[in-house]
Structure 1
Amino acid sequence: MKKELSFLFLVVGVLSIAKAGDRPFPSVKIANGVVQATLYLPDTSVGFYRGTRFDWSGVIPELVYEGHQYHGEWFTEHDPLGHDGIVGPVEEFTPLGFEQAAIGDAFVKIGVGSLVKPDEKPYAFHRRYAFSDRGRWQVKAGKQQVDFTHVLNTAGYAYVYKKTVQLPDGAAKMVLTHSLENTGEKVIETRVYNHNFFVIDKEPTGPGYRITLPGDTLHPIGAKGLNDIARLEGNELIFLRTLKRGEQAYFADLGGGQPVDYDITVRNVKSGAGVRITGDRPISKMVFWSSPTTVCPEPYLDVRVAPGETYRWTIAYEYHRNTQ
């Protein structure tokens, strides 16, 4: 089945309309008999997320394993153009060519498109930048996986970015497979991180969560809420109390500025739902952030792709029930 979502978007597979309240959003559902997930699809006019911060692919509002929900809306009001109007294990790339661009010229966000630099102020992820070129999206959906492809050739950069969200046969697992092919003449040098946005069984952020992060000792670099909201014990982050409205726990780099293995565990000790996250590339910067409604380990990867080359990385989520 083929269905036009807009003049830039093509979906091949099973297309449905998901609703948040009375709002319809193009989506697909995938399942492997163990895990079920809903994915929102890129769409310039009615997509759930149409902002200029995050990669538009792989937005997951719902993922269920053994009756436990791992993602969901963590905000009270949804703005599809807002920088945080997004859910699930979503990724963001640092911009390409922003500092070199003159006012009115374009710079690039991978998975978003080409954006206009409005003034000489430094780049800020929370600003809403105007689009110059959204590129071209293609989505292919099957029963157990969705393949996203974003093609862009603008502002001196050209790439083919692919992400596959897969639920392997019979496994309590989700795998995100990425490739970034540099089809232009400029070197692509960026950082990409996964924000994750866990909302496990709607548990508010607090002692119900336990976070295990890579490294023998965590470093409280750029900490907010240390020993008030949360404390560090070895390689664990433990919440001391439930966050109040407007509060946050934040650590700028728990890896202490050194690369660490990609191995993170998030547990909801009240409901018994847990997830282990592993990757095949080392984490260059280990950030952690949480609000009262979501828990977000944010592992960064350094990406450098010469013209004609392709950079690949994979992230796996293994879901489990806690036994302690």
Structure 2
Amino acid sequence: MGFQLSNEHLFVDIAAVGDYKGTRFDWSGFITGITMREGNHSFCVPESLKSGEGTGGLGLCNEFSLKEAIGYEDAPVGGQFPKLGVGLLTRTDAAPYQFYRNYPLQPYRIDAEVRNEQNIVFTVHPKNCGGYAARLEKSISLDRNRLRIEYQLSNTGTREIRTEEYNHNFLGIDGQPIGPDYDLQFPFAIEAWTDEPGTMDGLRIDGGAVAWERVPDKPFYFHIGGYSTCASPWLWDLKHRPSGAGVREISSFPVYSAAVWGMGHVVSPEMFIRIELQPGESKKWSRVYEFYREP
């Protein structure tokens, strides 16, 4: 059984610890469904519509160390390295770390405390791995039409932790395909580029606006620059024009990097935060999502 938060505006479904068994996304506070009462609009979709394809992403799920895993280069083949929010993974060969691979896993102990109908707190307990250890606390709460996720990461080990964190927002409003009916807005002029030729075909970018000429028939992905000049209280806004339903992220942390990923059924604006913690240090940050419906 998972968990559900609710108030007069929103229903939020959260997976039980261990429902997601992959080694990519944080096991704590894995948000699988969000429904806005007004209009009964839904927002969360799976990473892939094909069974067994992808890495098991769904809804709002965050990840640490997308690009470079903590301690991976120091671990010998057969040795362990930590994946924050997941557990201790085993390095299986000499190849570079790949976020989409499933590695042998020793999960962290994770507790969940339901405080009331609008708030749940997850605690990921530290386990030492070559001097790396961290305690993660994640609080998920509702405030009217807003969903707030608060994080506190504490370095309980003897080595510095250097990583990044982001939420992989798997969004598709009411299950409607991504395409000309959607508007994705950023409050700054986008500087877009990609390392994968062809992944921006069919996309139009004008200032801070992203639009689709058609429903994508293959994955799209691009990096975003320009956010360093942003003084807006929101980071991105996704709206399905026919229904008027939308969601915007109004987090206030310094953006380290940004990207947009998606397919024909899903779009994911990704805002990264940089984390550097000496032993004994802690860092707090939060992500806030506002759900709305326009006439």
Same fold (TM over 0.5): yes
State whether structure 2 residue 252 is matched by structure 1 residue 277: no
State whether structure 2 residue 44 is matched by structure 1 residue 71: yes
**Partner residue in 2 for 1:13:** none
2:77 partner SS: coil
| Distance of aligned partners of 1:92 and 1:221 in 2 relative to their CA distance in 1, 3 Å threshold | same
1:154 partner SS: coil
State whether structure 2 residue 138 is matched by structure 1 residue 163: yes
**Partner residue in 2 for 1:14:** none
How far residue 268 of structure 1 moved from its aligned partner, in angstroms, is: 0.9
Report matched runs for 1:101-116 at 5 Å.
101-116=75-90
**Partner residue in 2 for 1:55:** 26
| Distance of aligned partners of 1:221 and 1:74 in 2 relative to their CA distance in 1, 3 Å threshold | closer
How far residue 243 of structure 1 moved from its aligned partner, in angstroms, is: 1.3
Q: Give me the CA root mean square deviation.
A: 1.9
| Distance of aligned partners of 1:76 and 1:217 in 2 relative to their CA distance in 1, 3 Å threshold | closer
Aligned with residue 152 of structure 1, among 126, 144, 152: 126
* Alpha-carbon displacement from aligned partner over 1:231-250 (angstroms, at most 9, x marks no partner): 11001111111112xx0121
How many residues end up aligned between the 2 structures?
A: 286
Asked if structure 2 preserves the Cα contact closer than 8 Å seen for 1:78 and 1:85, the reply is no
**Partner residue in 1 for 2:219:** 248
**Partner residue in 1 for 2:12:** 37
Aligned with residue 203 of structure 2, among 227, 230, 234: 230
- Residue type of the partner of 2:73? E
Question: What is the percentage of aligned positions where both structures have the same residue?
Answer: 30
Aligned with residue 215 of structure 1, among 166, 182, 188: 188
Aligned with residue 197 of structure 1, among 170, 173, 186: 170
| Distance of aligned partners of 1:227 and 1:62 in 2 relative to their CA distance in 1, 3 Å threshold | closer
**Partner residue in 1 for 2:117:** 143
Structure 2: 5+ residue runs without aligned partners? none
Tell me which of the two structures has the higher relative contact order, counting C-alpha pairs closer than 8 angstroms and 6 or more residues apart: 2
**Partner residue in 2 for 1:28:** 3
1:301 partner SS: strand
**Partner residue in 1 for 2:292:** 320
Distance 1:83 1:305 in 2: 31
| Distance of aligned partners of 1:34 and 1:224 in 2 relative to their CA distance in 1, 3 Å threshold | farther
Asked if structure 2 preserves the Cα contact closer than 8 Å seen for 1:96 and 1:108, the reply is yes
| Distance of aligned partners of 1:93 and 1:211 in 2 relative to their CA distance in 1, 3 Å threshold | same
Asked if structure 1 preserves the Cα contact closer than 8 Å seen for 2:199 and 2:219, the reply is no
2:169 partner SS: coil
**Partner residue in 2 for 1:127:** 101
Distance 2:33 2:247 in 1: 15
How far residue 282 of structure 1 moved from its aligned partner, in angstroms, is: 1.5
**Partner residue in 2 for 1:305:** 277
Asked if structure 2 preserves the Cα contact closer than 8 Å seen for 1:74 and 1:199, the reply is no
- Residue type of the partner of 1:129? Y
* Alpha-carbon displacement from aligned partner over 1:166-201 (angstroms, at most 9, x marks no partner): 112xx1110010010111111111011111000211
Distance 1:35 1:224 in 2: 39
How far residue 157 of structure 1 moved from its aligned partner, in angstroms, is: 1.2
How far residue 226 of structure 1 moved from its aligned partner, in angstroms, is: 6.3
- Residue type of the partner of 1:110? L
Asked if structure 2 preserves the Cα contact closer than 8 Å seen for 1:52 and 1:83, the reply is no
- Residue type of the partner of 2:127? N
**Partner residue in 2 for 1:286:** 258
* Alpha-carbon displacement from aligned partner over 1:88-107 (angstroms, at most 9, x marks no partner): 11111112100111111111
Distance 1:240 1:144 in 2: 39
Asked if structure 1 preserves the Cα contact closer than 8 Å seen for 2:138 and 2:152, the reply is yes
Structure 1: 5+ residue runs without aligned partners? 1-25
- Residue type of the partner of 1:154? N
How far residue 77 of structure 1 moved from its aligned partner, in angstroms, is: 4.2
Distance 2:85 2:152 in 1: 12
Asked if structure 2 preserves the Cα contact closer than 8 Å seen for 1:188 and 1:304, the reply is yes
Distance 2:213 2:155 in 1: 46
Q: Between 232-241 and 254-263, report the one with greater CA deviation.
A: 254-263
How far residue 214 of structure 1 moved from its aligned partner, in angstroms, is: 4.2
Aligned with residue 73 of structure 2, among 85, 96, 99: 99
